[in-house]
Amino acid sequence: MPTLKEIKGRIGSVKSTLKITSAMKLVSSAKLRKAQNAIVAMRPYEEALGKMLAMASGAVGVTEKVTSPSKKADFAGDVPENVTSPSVIVAIASNSSLCGGFNANVIAKVRTLRRPGDVVYSIGRKMADAMARDGFPSPGDYSSLSEHPAYAEAAALVEKLSEDFLDGRIRGVTLVYMHFVSTSRQVPVMERLLPVDETPDQVGGDAGGGVPSPVMPSPVMPGSDRVSDAILEPSARELLEALMPRTLKLKLYAALLDSAAAEHAARTIAMQTATDNAENLLSELTLQYNKSRQQKITSEILDLAGGQAAE
């Protein structure tokens, strides 16, 4: 049976841990609100860009190819079969732990998707460490994008991947990240970035948080750049070629924001659970301490009473 000193030491340790978990819960809650506000602020631009692409793609015709300005290849078509061209996975996790099963779930999703020879661009130190142990080291350090999602850095990564895809050096690019559903629920999802899906949710079961597929039906007048409520200038094709790269960049940026919100939500729940457990443990230890103290006092009284009776 532990002594009073040992129980008192455990009580002090639990109180210190309780202060830490409570503070981390408050910090994560504040970061979650900030991440949610960032997603909400981006949605109007995302929706407007999706409508513009829908009109342009409808005017061009969904059967036509959308080429890059350099005409090397097209974003919507598969590259020629080449056994030396690997597929790329952009996997997003967090830089730190203490967020429940957040990192474990997205890492497990990547492991089910990747194949020998694939290249994994790891965003987040936890993902980079796990993939390096598995023999899939990241070509670069992108840990800053996990903690502080930045459009400029995301755009630079998409430009590099797009150039590799258009030159035939890679077969395609898939995003894997945790999608924020609610504060209590986050699910791992995968979305195809390149080649561009011609139908929404073509890759993976759970898709969410990204930009809608750029090829969507829209009311058009055949053989014209006029749609039911807009006139596209200089032409639908030029507009589509200009907006397609922006859509891909926005899709990665949206995935980063989505993952950040999911991380903060997971950490909030984990720290709330840890706080509740600490409070329950503190109550049990306090009760045990009081019982042991009362038992010790009772034993001392009985010893004194017994000694006096012996006299």
- Kindly state the percentage of the chain with pLDDT values over 70: 78
- Looking at 27-31, 204-208, 275-279, which range is the least confident one? 204-208
- pLDDT band of 310, cuts 50, 70, 90: low
Q: What is the pLDDT of residue 267?
A: 93
Q: Are 304 and 296 in contact (CB under 8 A)?
A: no
The C-alpha atoms of residue 31 and residue 265 are separated, in whole angstroms, by 9
The C-alpha atoms of residue 89 and residue 174 are separated, in whole angstroms, by 5
Give the helix/strand (H/E) hosting 202.
none
Burial of 254 (0-12, 13-18, 19+ CB in 10 A): buried
What CATH number was assigned to the domain covering residues 55-266? 3.40.1380.10
Residue with token string 């974003």: 75
Q: Per-residue pLDDT for 126 more than 70? A: yes
Q: Per-residue pLDDT for 194 more than 90? A: no
Q: Which long-range contacts (CB under 8 A, 24 or more apart) does 207-211 make?
A: 207/179, 208/179, 208/181, 208/258, 209/39, 209/177, 209/179, 209/180, 209/254, 209/255, 209/257, 209/258, 210/175, 210/251, 210/254, 210/255, 210/258, 211/46, 211/49, 211/50, 211/247, 211/250, 211/251, 211/254
Give the tens place of pLDDT for each residue, 243-264. 888 888 998 999 999 999 999 9
Amino acid at 268: T
Report strand pairing: 173-182 vs 185-194: antiparallel
Structure tokens at 16: 């210190």
- Looking at 146-160, 171-185, 212-226, which range is the least confident one? 212-226
The C-alpha atoms of residue 53 and residue 279 are separated, in whole angstroms, by 53
From the centroid of its chain, how far is CA 165?
24
Boundaries of every domain in the chain: 55-266
- pLDDT band of 216, cuts 50, 70, 90: very low
**Does the pTM of the predicted model rise above 0.85?**
no
Give the tens place of pLDDT for each residue, 17-64. 999 999 999 999 999 999 989 888 887 887 788 777 777 766 655 434
Q: What is the pLDDT of residue 245?
A: 86
Report residue 175: phi and psi, to 5°: -95, 135
Check residues 184 and 211 and name the one with the higher pLDDT.
184
Structure tokens at 290: 């009081």
Q: What is the pLDDT of residue 292?
A: 86
- Kindly state the percentage of the chain with pLDDT values over 90: 45
Q: What is the pLDDT of residue 161?
A: 93
- pLDDT band of 235, cuts 50, 70, 90: confident
What is the average pLDDT score of the chain? 80
Check residues 229 and 36 and name the one with the higher pLDDT.
36
Amino acid at 306: G
Question: Whose CA is closest to 189, among 254, 126, 137?
Answer: 254
Q: Are 191 and 174 in contact (CB under 8 A)?
A: yes
